[in-house]
Structures are given as C-alpha cells and as structure tokens.
Amino acid sequence: MTDTLQIALIQADLVWENPQKNRAKFTQSIASITDHVDLIILPEMFSTGFTMNAEEVAESMSGETVSWMKAMAKKTDTAITGSLVIKEDDKFYNRMIFVDPSGDIKVYNKRHTFTLVGEDKVYTAGTEKLIVNYKGWRICPLVCYDLRFPVWARNTEDYDVLIYVANWPSPRVLAWDALLQARAIENMSYCVGVNRVGIDGVKSTYSGHSAVYDVLGKRLTSFNPGEEKTELVRLEKRHIEKYRNKLKFLSDRDAFTIQ
C-alpha cells in the first residue's frame, strides 16, 4: 500500500491503423520517462486510432499489443493501461486493459459505444464496471463516451481514481474539459483524462486537453493544446481523505442500481 501514486499521462498522435508503429512510438515515449512512476496511461485505441475497421485491426488477448503491454510493464516495473480493439468469441470490443508489473491483467469493455459514428454497430458494449486494486489504490477505468454518463461513473465503490482514456475530437473539447472536472468534484476522487492529438484516418481532429483534477476540481496538469507530451502527476491519499472526512458529500449520495 502506498500513500502516493505517481502517474504518467502520455498525450500522443496516433498512426492510423498501424499497431506496429504505434507500439514503437509508445516504447520511445515510455523509455523517455526517467522518474519512477507507478502507472502509465495511454489513450483510447492507442494502437490504431478510433477505427470502425475492427475486422482489419482486431487482436486477441494473446496478441502482439497485449504481449507488448505485459513486457513493458515488467521492464519498467510499472502498471500500464489503455484501450485497444480486441476480438473475443467472434465479437469485437473497445477494451481497456490494465496490466500490472507482475503480468496480471484486468479488463473493462467500454459500456457506452459512440452511436454518432456507429461504434454500437461494430463493437459489443460492456456490462460490467471494473475497480482495480493496485498498490492500495482503488482505480475505476472508463473509456471516452462513458464520460457523458455520470450515473455509470458514480462513486458507489469508494474508488480513489477515475480514469478516462479517449479519442475526443476538438470540436467538442470544451465538454471534455467540463465533464472531467465535474466527475472529479461529484465523486470526490481524482479524475484523469488522457486524450490523443492530431488528425486520424477519417479526418477527425484532436487537440488533447489531457488532464488530472483533484477532488475539489483543481487542475494539476499543464498540457498545451495539440502537443505531444508526457506529464507526471503525483496523487496523494491524504488529499482524498482530508476532504472526504471534512465535507462528507459522499455520505449523502443516492442509492440506486443500474439495470
């Protein structure tokens, strides 16, 4: 158990539908981190970009990208998370994968598939929320469009960190900023968002705005729009405990179940 969690947010451009080049790119980004970190966070569909060509790019859980994540986690003694296209039982998933240094894997399948571009027609929606217990921290990983649905993210599990990985386009980036901050405040947790930059294969543009917010909604990062950058942030348990104990807002939350 640790009282602090050092995380690395990697905001990057992605090579369209080219897992090999993206793995090489992130290998370099990870190698450039000289300080010790506990968790490295990559964007949504970090190996391909946000593609609907699942049949062309999907991998299995024993495929090259998951194997790369395991190897990098072991080499750096750091957990790594991000989402990629996975095929399993003849279905495609936008799957967020969390690999710890021992090689243990936890997975979350994106629940809210993005109907505006037909993601729901290609990818099977997930049904289970995931809480990862890592170094004494309770982490809830979610994916992109999930951010617009606060009920799904509601902190009924007393998690410490809420993570969103995304390919969130520039025209709606103000919503990204506002909703990340809101999720931190309403759930009294750190909220982390890692978005990509650049232009993808269908000409969607991305300006990044990756960020970390504390439980009061204070932004702890300094990414510039559009830049490729890795930023390290130290999360502190005492910050969470101080304001949860003082304000007790989570004690007044509504009880509910999701059908």
pLDDT digits (tens, 9 = 90+) for 64-81: 999 999 999 999 999 999
CB 108, CB 92: distance < 8 Å: no
CB 257, CB 156: distance < 8 Å: no
Q: Is the pTM of this model over 0.95?
A: yes
Determine the pLDDT at residue 1: 67
Instruction: Name the 3-class secondary structure at 141.
Output: strand
Instruction: Name the 3-class secondary structure at 253.
Output: coil
Of 110, 129, 140, 186, which residue is the catalytic one? 110
Determine the pLDDT at residue 15: 98
Of 59, 119, 129, 144, which residue is the catalytic one? 144
Cα dihedral 259, 44, 36, 210 sign: negative
232 to 28, 33, 50, 68: CA distances (angstroms): 16, 9, 25, 22
Let me know if 144 is a catalytic residue.
Answer: yes
Nearest to residue 212, comparing CAs of 174, 252, 163, 156? Answer: 163
Determine the pLDDT at residue 143: 98
Determine the pLDDT at residue 256: 87
Determine the pLDDT at residue 259: 78
Determine the pLDDT at residue 258: 86
Low-confidence ranges of the chain (pLDDT < 70): 1
Of 17, 25, 44, 106, which residue is the catalytic one? 44
CB 72, CB 27: distance < 8 Å: yes
